Amino acid sequence: MSDDIYIMDLGRDRTEYVTKTVNVTEKRAPTDESVRLLKEMEEAARTKIEDTFVLSNNGFECRIYTVLECNSYDYIITAVYLLNGKKMRSEARISKYDLETAGYEKHQKLFQAIQAEVAMDIAREILGPAYMASLKSGDITA
């Protein structure tokens, strides 16, 4: 085996000038307009999901769905239900990073969050008018 190094001249010692037009396309982060369009599309999708539920029973019926929001990594838990003939919607939000557990415990935390929101909205709906009426009559002071 030889350790000799040979340098060969390939005749490329001349300077060449290239006259070529190159178009550069700038890739930018999402603009306010594209973010607005994304939110409109997400809301339209939610509306379609909610409209597919049949809420025609006299009893309490509730449908719950969960969406992972890509911008904030929040789980948005939404409950759609019928209360006294009125279609209502409650929403809870939990950060993905707050849900370090997996499986059953994760679903339990999600359910507890939406359960609290639904209970609060039902209380507002049922007790709100009675509370306001008692305030007006002077039975209760604020």
pLDDT of residue 19: 79
Q: Does residue 24 lie in a domain region?
A: no
Q: How many structural domains does the chain have? A: 1
Most confident of 34-38, 58-62, 87-91, 126-130: 87-91
Report the percentage of the chain scoring pLDDT > 70. Answer: 71
pLDDT of residue 92: 93
Q: Does residue 85 lie in a domain region?
A: yes
The full 3-state SS of 110-132, as one line of letters, equals: HHHHHHHHHHHHHHHHHHHHHHH
Domain that holds residue 96: 32-137
Q: Does residue 97 lie in a domain region?
A: yes
User: What is the C-alpha to C-alpha distance for residues 14 and 5, in angstroms, rounded to an integer?
Assistant: 24
Quick check: 128 pLDDT over 70? yes
Q: Calculate the average pLDDT of the chain.
A: 76
